[in-house]
Structure 1
């Protein structure tokens, strides 16, 4: 996993590099990708994408964020993690790498989410 601090390569990588290139190149189940509205962690992030995952059903999937700094990333990850602790209905998978955070809804099986983490798609994009 990349270091949590920002480096020059990370600064030049975009969410499109991670989602469209790396995830799809790894054969992960990625459907339509669209921009997120600013209301989702607006000024703390550089980019945000909604990722649809066809195997989860219509309009199901998650989000990929690229944050401006580690503090913003940690705040967003904590938000999703705490929601899941408050209610099992609000649980979602989260994984941080560098300044990227991926969040997928709980309909995704743990083994499938592990592919997003363990395929190291974000690491490859950062190299």
Structure 2
């Protein structure tokens, strides 16, 4: 078992409030977030951006390990993830996490690549965590 942690602080309430996020590792240290960074494009981060980063990283690592287990020794995986936040009743909900994978894996058959990527999407821990539609577009170079 492995555990990780992060903390958030919010000073003030509602739209006027300002928050900051810090991770145990220190990669994020007092990074600003709030209404402006979430909905108005102001500098800083927001929860959906962090989910997108986590999902892209998790899926890409899962795909890498699955490719290695299938006997592939080299390649490059580039993943983009877009998380969608939509109005849901009186609040909001994350409704979709869209993964786009561009890969270069020497010697892999396209159908093997597609199967491995689809399995990684279904089985990476962040995909399993999310309670929303998870999609995957994939392309193989070469």
Normalising to structure 2: TM-score of the pair? Answer: 0.29
Work out which of the two has the higher radius of gyration on C-alpha atoms and give 1 or 2. 2
Which is helix-richer, 1 or 2? 1
User: Whose RCO is larger (CA < 8 A, sep 6+)?
Assistant: 1
Which is strand-richer, 1 or 2? 2
